[in-house]
Amino acid sequence: MDKFVIAGKQFTSRLLIGTGKFSSSKAMAQAIEAAGAEIVTVALRRVDITNKDDDMLSAIDRQKYLLLPNTSGARTADEAIRLSHLARAATGINWVKLEVTPDPYYLLPDPIETLKAAEILVKEGFIVLPYINADPILSKKLQDVGTATVMPLASPIGSNQGLKTRAAIEIIIEQANVPVIVDAGLGLPSHAAEAMEMGADAVLVNTAIATAVEPAKMAEAFKLAVMAGRTAYLFGAAAESKKANASSPLTGFLRND
């Protein structure tokens, strides 16, 4: 596939993987491999001193994959900024997936706090990838303050509902001068393909892969769907019409009328 660039860094894969909800670190590692992913997201939480085995992420080869820490759990800009600082200390790099989700039921991102945090983090030198509702105006404002991407949601996190925000994402893609990564709610490979056919630069998938019966196989299905969707986008979809247009010749029929 054609190269995908975020903040000057080149990637081949357009499928980002979230590491949550896998049944084991082995299943997670196999799925990341099968997805051909190069960017994997992680969260930051308090150390659980009663559970010595909670270092599930040791299964990820950090030479091979870019660990993209998120600020999940943050309800305000201040909390997201604090998490970003901790994430930078943990990874040694300044990339962050900015999430500010005060609403526990739909986990919808707070646009005002997200924009506020993004502006501060960009000034501090962070490469900011903000998770947002599919809002074209917010997307423009975020790219104007210098975020590296925008990451509009397809539908609520973990809901597997697919591209419920399609019309708004089309506008975001049309206006964007930073990569558009469709995040959250993609439940099937066909949903991912649809986003890529529309011209999304990449997609991020977690739940649909992690909770599949065979996560590695589902990861492969998503990988193929993303490649198919990207290829279709690049090489021009055929026009849609209301009436039928015969595919076979309309001459030389075996009849005499």
* CA–CA gap between residue 38 and residue 22 (Å, rounded): 18
26 is catalytic: no
Q: Which residue in 87, 41, 96, 38 sits closest to 65, CA to CA?
A: 38
Q: Which is nearer to another protein, 51 or 248 (CB)?
A: 51
Q: At what angle do helices 25-35 and 215-234 cross, to 10 degrees?
A: 20
Cα(142)–Cα(109) distance, rounded to whole angstroms?
14
Q: Least distance from C-beta 69 to another protein, angstroms?
A: 7
Q: Which stretch binds another protein (CB under 8 A): 62-70, 186-194, 223-231, 247-255?
A: 62-70
Which residue number, 19 or 136, has a Cβ lying nearer to another protein?
19
| Residue 50, CB-side half-sphere exposure with 13 Å CA sphere | 0
* Residue range at the interface with another protein (CB under 8 A); choices 37-45, 191-199, 223-231, 240-248: 37-45
User: Which one of the listed residues 9, 52, 64, 97 is annotated catalytic?
Assistant: 97
Residue 22 touches another protein, criterion: CB under 8 A: yes
CB 218 within 8 A of CB 212: yes
Active-site annotation, residues: 97
Residue ranges that bind another protein, judged by CB under 8 A: 18-22, 28, 41-47, 49, 52, 54-58, 67, 69-70, 72, 85-86, 89-90, 157-158, 184, 204, 206-207
